[in-house]
Structure 1
Amino acid sequence: MNQEIYQEILHKALNETQKVRESKEGWNLIKKGKYLTLSNTQYEDLNYKLAKLEGIIPVNFEKAAHFYFYDNQAQKKVRNNIEEITKIEEVNQETYVILVKLKAKFVVSAREVIGVQSIQRLNENEIVIYRANLKEHPKVPFKKDVIRCEGKIYGIFLTKVDENLTKFEAYLILDPKGNIPAFIVNFVTESLLSEFEKDIINIIKQK
């Protein structure tokens, strides 16, 4: 797939993510953590919910952007549900294709998701990291024992408050495919709060 096609699908993904971000109604508060709150809302006609994590975190926004876009291995270390995060194609300095393998959990078998991910500075004080789903990639052949998910929405907005504080917003929904009860999908979604708070603790510890 050439760079032009990647940019086209990324543009659509960013527009959809920004549309979700601008929607202020319909969000239900689920949990509060030390740094973030988790809310959810209905998205299209799916049986499971779109998640939103938001809060003011005590880190520099450039440092947070580096962690979420460039430091995939640091993310893997603090995420209990991730088996592998691999950059499988570098499109340009701000864009690459990523493979995320998810561990089997409860009655949910192993999954994987492929996406083209990009980082963009919206203005001097705001950065977005976002991802568009890819159904296939020549470097990742289909395997019978792994189900391929569909990343519907993935967007992380980082807004500078001051040098050491950042407004954090993440919008996430993954179609896990297969016959999984909605309550299990929603339970896994709730675990995002603790996973992202582990990220923040990890970023704080980095020098």
Structure 2
Amino acid sequence: MSAETQSRPYRQVARAAATEETRRRIVTAFAEALAQRWLDEITLDELATAAGTTRQTVIRLFGGKEGLLDAVVDWMREGVVIRRTLMPGPTAIAVARAVGADYETSGDMLIRLLAQEGRHPGLFTLLDLGRRHHRTWIGEVLAGPIASHPPAEREALTDRLIVATDVYSWKLLRRDAGRSRIETEAAIAALIAAILAARSNDHG
């Protein structure tokens, strides 16, 4: 086996790693832009510059903004799973800290994307996935308290918990009212606890 043949797999691995790193830089640049700009204002040229690559490379790797949105969904999903992983039977403050950690990372981008949902139908898939995931997550991490109520009451209870932990609730406290992260998470935790306690008292 020649030296050229032996070195080929190493070059292929290095090339694949370099491509993956370029993809990561582009997706990061796009996510950062989405948190500060409207979707139709963001250009592939500026993303390429921010990522240290070329417009042609962005197109080759993602095709355009739709492909980039799909990549951001995957990026967000990975982060959400990590930030929202909790021990069984979490306290209200543990749940509040999990959503707080999540929104500190992606909340501003989510708020801006939600404001554009009616203008860009392609955003609906991304945002609806997040809404469904959030509802499922609430049902899982607070399964014990929710299950202690009659089936007919569980949906309404879940609705209240979703409102308390929604990104807009975080925005009202963290951005509009200027509360600190600790204050915001404490307020969300108090809402969760009050909702659970009220429902428990109604049916206890």
TM-score by length of 1: 0.29
TM-score (norm 2): 0.30
**Larger strand share, 1 or 2:** 1
Greater fraction of residues in helix:
2
Task: Identify which of structures 1 and 2 has the higher relative contact order when contacts are C-alpha pairs closer than 8 Å and 6+ apart.
Answer: 1
The structure whose Rg is larger is 2
